[in-house]
Amino acid sequence: MEEHKRVVIVGGGFGGLAAAKALAGSTADVVLIDRSNHHLFQPLLYQVATAALSPADIAAATRSLFGKSSNVTVVMDEVTGVDTARKRVNAAQSGAIPYDYLILATGADYSFFGHDEWADHAPVLKTLDDALRIRARLLAAFEEAERSDEDEEIQRLLTFVVVGAGPTGVEMAGAIAELARTALAGAFRRVTSQQVRILLVEAGKTVLSAFRPEQSSQALHALRTLGVQVLLDQAVERIDESGIVIGGKRIASANVIWCAGTQARPAGAWLHAETARNKAVLVAPDCSIPGHPDVFAIGDVASHRTADGTVLPGLAPVAKQQGRYVAKLILARLAGRSAPAAFHYRNWGTMAVIGRSRAVADFGWLRLGGHMAWLTWSLVHLLLLVDHRSRLSVHLNWTWAWFTNRRAARLLTHWPGQPPRRIGGKPGSSRHNDTQHSRI
């Protein structure tokens, strides 16, 4: 009788999930460990942050995806280290979990380039809770501005600064512009869309630098059409409770959102392995870690250099393809067959969406801009969503938003009451004067 080898997968993102799915139903005993209970379709997370979609539209309980695969066990726990000598993963609650093969798919986190104190004032967009917090901040800013009588304070509340013009930053800035200009504007009596100011700050010389130049400029044009002020070649000098400093100039803002640099999670340190500058583990062509043929790193936690010398980008398709590749490789080894050749990334294209109906897409053989790219983007994302129910619900929400300009998920939850954020204003000032309230 064949012995059941155990494959432990750390991380239930695109890479880990793809590996677990490819191993489901096999003879391997698979343990998938993630610190959250759900798989998140991260490319649409900005739509939760801007109230267009609900969390359940873009996330699915990881467990429910493997209900019928009895060889896959899902454990919600946080991995704290790896003991390669004894072949064990250490988890905070479950303790030591032995493995025969280990797949590290822990992903990346945002990095504040050594300025961790900025994190308190500039939320990132990585988890559902992050998105709900950003949503609460955005919606609360409009509510506070509606109540305020001080022009300076209103300006601070309605100034939104997105740092980083990669796909997430571009999509976020576009979505805030849509939210302000269409969905929210009509519902307020005092706040007008003319008061809203959206800045996109980028240290590099262009937006979407991973795309071709013609698409970068299309995106730039689309952002400007939506009213987003794009500041290129500008490094952030400081972020604090009252705003942001760029190029020596302070911009008062209650809503700075960090979509800039990322850094791999600490799998490299667990293994004492060699890492790239962004802490990603340098991997061999077969995604294994040099010196540890049974340990693999995939997705954003891995730094994979291809034969032509370029490093694979931190994109969902890379992680998914690596997950499937490593699963196949392990199954081959378990069956005593020869392993497949080195991992080869097949680039199906890259896309980013700007606002309600514009996008850029690059499929190599086909490059699209404007509405066609947006339609394509919508279709591809609907097809990629992890379960059918999400597809229906996202479709419903998008269609609804499209026809009505309303947002279904404009709910202020995750908001700790009325925060003492009146930094610009004077508390207890003349707010009790009746004449000031003649406007409401």
User: Out of 5, 61, 182, 340, which residue is the one contacting a copy of itself (CB under 8 A)?
Assistant: 61
Based on the shown chain and the rule CB under 8 A, indicate whether residue 356 belongs to the binding site for a copy of itself. no
Size of the site for a copy of itself (CB under 8 A): 68
Distance in angstroms (rounded) separating the CA atoms of residues 82 and 311 = 25
Q: Which of 150, 153, 171, 178 is catalytic?
A: 171
Residue with Cβ nearer a copy of itself (116 or 308)? 116
Instruction: Give the one residue of 5, 55, 240, 378 binding a copy of itself; rule: CB under 8 A.
Output: 55
Contacting residue, 67, 213, 285, 291, with a copy of itself by CB under 8 A: 67
The yes or no reply on residue 79 touching a copy of itself (CB under 8 A) is no
Q: Which residue has the tokens 């704290």?
A: 80
CB 295 within 8 A of CB 289: yes
Q: Is 150 in the site for a copy of itself (CB under 8 A)?
A: no
**Binds a copy of itself by CB under 8 A, chosen from 225, 229, 413, 423:** 413
Q: Is 76 in the site for a copy of itself (CB under 8 A)?
A: yes
Residue 158 makes CB contacts below 8 A (sequence gap 6+) with 141, 142, 145, 180, 191, 195, 196, 197
- Residue 351 and residue 167: Cα distance in Å, rounded? 8
Q: Does 421 bind a copy of itself (CB under 8 A)?
A: no
Cβ-Cβ contacts under 8 Å for 115 (sequence gap 6 or more):
239
Per-residue DSSP letters for 189-213? SS--GGG-EEEEE-SSSSSSTTS-H
Q: Token match 């339609």: residue?
A: 375
Q: What is the dihedral of CA 341, 344, 346, 350, to 10 degrees?
A: 160
Give the nearer residue to a copy of itself in terms of CB position, either 324 or 407: 407
Residues recorded for the chain: 440
C-alpha to C-alpha distance for 416 and 418, rounded to whole angstroms: 7
CB 204 → a copy of itself: shortest distance, Å? Answer: 33
* Three-class HEC string of 326-366: HHHHHHHHHCCCCCCCCCCCCCCCEEEEECCCEEEEECCCC
Among 38, 320, 324, 358, binds a copy of itself (CB under 8 A): 38
Task: Choose the binding region for a copy of itself from 268-276, 307-315, 324-332, 432-440 (rule: CB under 8 A).
Answer: 432-440
Direct distance between the N- and C-terminal alpha carbons of the chain, in angstroms, rounded to an integer: 79
Q: Considering only 213-221, 222-230, 325-333, 387-395, which stretch makes contact with a copy of itself by CB under 8 A?
A: 387-395
Determine the Cα–Cα distance for residues 184 and 188; give it in Å rounded to an integer. 7
Q: By CB under 8 A, is residue 423 in contact with a copy of itself?
A: no
Kindly write down the DSSP assignment for every residue of 8-60, as one continuous string.
EEE--SHHHHHHHHHHTTSSSEEEEEESSSEEE-GGGHHHHHTTSS-HHHHEE
Closer to a copy of itself by Cβ: residue 194 or 429 = 429
The span of 204-212, 328-336, 344-352, 404-412 binding a copy of itself (CB under 8 A) equals 404-412
Using the rule CB under 8 A, is 143 a contact of a copy of itself?
A: yes
The CA distance from 335 to 329, in Å, is 10
Q: Does the active-site annotation cover 171?
A: yes
Of 95, 213, 290, 293, the residue at the interface with a copy of itself (CB under 8 A) is 95
- Interface positions with a copy of itself (CB under 8 A): 31, 36-38, 54-57, 59, 61, 63-64, 66-68, 70, 73-78, 88, 92-98, 128-129, 132, 139, 143-144, 146-147, 186-189, 389-390, 392-393, 396-397, 400, 404, 406-414, 417-418, 431-434, 436-437, 440
Residue positions annotated with a catalytic role: 171
